Amino acid sequence: MGDTESGKIEQMMKAAKGSVARYDFATADKLNADQYRFIYNVFQQYADAVTTKLAPMLQSRVQLELGQISMATYADYLRSLPDPSTMVVFKIDPETKALLSLDFPLSFALLDKLMGGKGETSEGIREFTEIEMILLQKTIVRLVECYSEAWREVRDFKPQLVEIRLNPLGVVVAGSSENMVIVPFSARIAQAQGRFELCLPFKHLKAIVPNASFEQFILSKTSQAASGQTVSPLFAGKIESARVPISCELGRTEVLFEDLLHIEPGDCLVLDTQIGDPVRLKVNERTKFLGRPGKTKDNKVGIQICKVLTEGDEEFEE
């Protein structure tokens, strides 16, 4: 091989070496832009749920502002936390643990408000008493429950509180090199403000977050509902448990006001229905069903539904 050819090969090797980028296996797992936006929308709902649950409990204004979602290894995240911190370990499902962390002063503000104070932070750093830990746990349980509410559109979770610790380096929910998604909030409770964060396994989120954007996902759920498929919107539980007044109308009539003033026990009013006619069942003062009166097995008055009225029926009232 001549000097000229060997020189060309050497130049090609140098050029190739300069164009090769290092591959960082620690950051190999990524979420695309739509998935990040999806997670942002979900945890915006989490912030709203926390505000809704804590404000009545604390009798105070509660603000939770979602920050920039990021990724880090579990070991790096623990090293970034101040010592002590209120570290809450909870189970998302039987195989997945996650972490919720609060600034220590913010935890004391919660306790102060629960015990009738103004929600001020503690002047010094100390451990919680046994009574304080019990009170704090009641609040923490609500924060954990909000996780299921935030994801209700996507998956049905039943998260459970595992333990509360104060030393970040003593908490284990994942391997030290495992990638975690950090969801930070800026919290303001009564007169205190501080950091509030969720630390979630990347593989957990990757498995449940669809590739579609949040808006497309909601739109597809709406389309499923329109086509008769089962759908569980965030507010479905509240609607299903709402009480709706139903009344029964035996018949109608009109009388003069003068006659109405002179009505006495024993007088009869002639209605516009026959004895065998079905009676009207009203929902919020609108006739929606026709039925026949009778008795139930436990000797209570009941109505058997004979017809569900639809638009176009003579008796239908919208």
Q: Among 186, 184, 62, which residue's Cα sits nearest to residue 114?
A: 62
Other Cβ atoms closer than 10 A to 58: 18
Main-chain dihedrals φ then ψ at residue 152, nearest 5 degrees: -60, -30
The Cα 87–Cα 295 span in angstroms is 59
State the pTM of this model. 0.58
Helix (H) or strand (E) holding 304: strand 301-308
CA atoms within 13 A on the CB side of 209: 26
- The pLDDT score that the predictor gives to residue 89 is 92
DSSP letter (8 states) at residue 25: G
Write down the domain spans for the chain: 26-211, 243-308
Q: Which of 109, 42, 31, 33 is nearest to 71 (CA)?
A: 31
* 26-211 and 243-308: identical CATH topology: no
The reported pLDDT for the residue numbered 123 is 64
Taking only the tens of pLDDT, the chain with its 318 residues reads 555 555 555 655 555 444 444 434 444 567 778 888 888 888 998 998 888 888 888 777 788 889 999 899 999 999 888 888 888 999 998 889 999 998 888 888 788 877 777 777 666 667 778 888 888 888 889 889 999 888 888 888 889 999 988 888 888 888 889 999 999 998 888 777 888 899 999 998 888 887 656 666 656 555 555 555 544 444 455 556 566 778 888 888 888 888 888 888 988 888 888 888 888 888 877 788 888 888 887 888 888 888 888 766 666 665
CB 85 within 8 A of CB 102: yes
Decide which of 2.30.330.10, 3.40.1530.20, 2.30.290.10, 1.10.260.40 is the CATH code for 243-308: 2.30.330.10
Say which residue the tokens 């030393």 belong to: 167
Instruction: Please count the CA atoms within 13 angstroms of the CA of 271 that sit on its side-chain side.
Output: 10
* 122 vs 133: CA distance, rounded Å: 15
26-211 fold: Chemotaxis protein chec (3.40.1550)
